[in-house]
Amino acid sequence: MANTYFLALFLSLTVISSVSANFQRDVEITWGDGRGQITNNGELLTLSLDKSSGSGFQSKNEYLFGKIGMQMKLVPGNSAGTVTTLYLKSQGTTWDEIDFEFLGNLSGDPYTLHTNVYTQGKGDKEQQFKLWFDPTADFHTYTILWNPQRIIFTVDGTPIREFKNMESVGTLFPNNQPMRMYSSLWNADDWATRGGLVKTDWSKAPFTASYRGFNQEACVWSNGKSSCPNGSEQGTTGSWLSQELDSTAQERMRWVQKNYMIYNYCTDAKRFPQGLPKECLAA
């Protein structure tokens, strides 16, 4: 009984989880002059982009480690030039950031899913994928798990990328700056589609992406303190704070990377003539 009580107490302190996600309670639309809308009693959020502007929102909470997920349905049809994002980011000029970026494409061509990790303002850790489904036909769940040991990107529960804490070999890892969740829809036809060769077709505007099911299991940071006991220390076995990929999850990730990865900075020797980054060699 005592063990059950303390486990329940720990979870109540560390986990902020939206059992019934409500955008009116959990996020705020921060820009777009009305192009972002919350409807269905807080259950649905849409962002729109036209030639004047895009739109975006952010979480009301800041987190120092968390498992943050969202169901998204991306811009359908000819989405070339558009970028839809879901990411975590801290403040300041030496910010930390963990990115999902969905680069639109011509009708019939697949989206590019771009991932990156920044620490203290330094990124250059890109991996890109094509998805194994049409992300515009229905909602799919995209999740960032960020704990002191690793960052895991998942799509519908399938891991596609793991970025481990390799501070032991001199690689920076985001572990001391609280971050908010952000999402946006904006025009980037100077680089997004085929390096900027394909421009946005504004006759197809407004472009709209849809969101539901925001889930936040996290150490919430408020007034300089974490909601987790002992700050951000490792949690109970099996919790997201100590989660790692088991053999089945590793096999699924290898399947994705073999069949759907289209760019990996760790294999781009031309980009790093002085030698690949240390985390690539240590992996």
97 classed as catalytic: yes
3-state helix/strand/coil string of 106-157? CCCCCCEEEEEEEECCECCCCEEECCCCCCCCCCEEEEEEECCCEEEEEECC
Catalytic residue among 28, 43, 62, 97: 97
Tokens for 241, please give them: 């704070």
End-to-end CA distance of the chain: 42
d(CA 70, CA 81): 23
d(CA 69, CA 215): 5
Instruction: Tell me how many degrees the CA angle 192-198-201 measures, rounded to the nearest 5.
Output: 100
Looking up tokens 């639109």, which residue turns up? 104
| Residues 80 and 189: beta-carbon distance below 8 Å | yes
101 classed as catalytic: yes
Catalytic residue among 43, 62, 101, 244: 101
Q: In this structure, is the dihedral angle defined by the CA atoms of residues 12, 13, 15 and 19, taken in order, positive or negative?
A: positive
Bridge partners, residue 150, by sequence: 164
d(CA 176, CA 62): 12
Sequence-distant (6+) residues with CB within 8 A of 84 are: 47, 72, 74, 75, 101, 102, 104, 183, 184, 185, 209
Catalytic residue positions? 97, 101
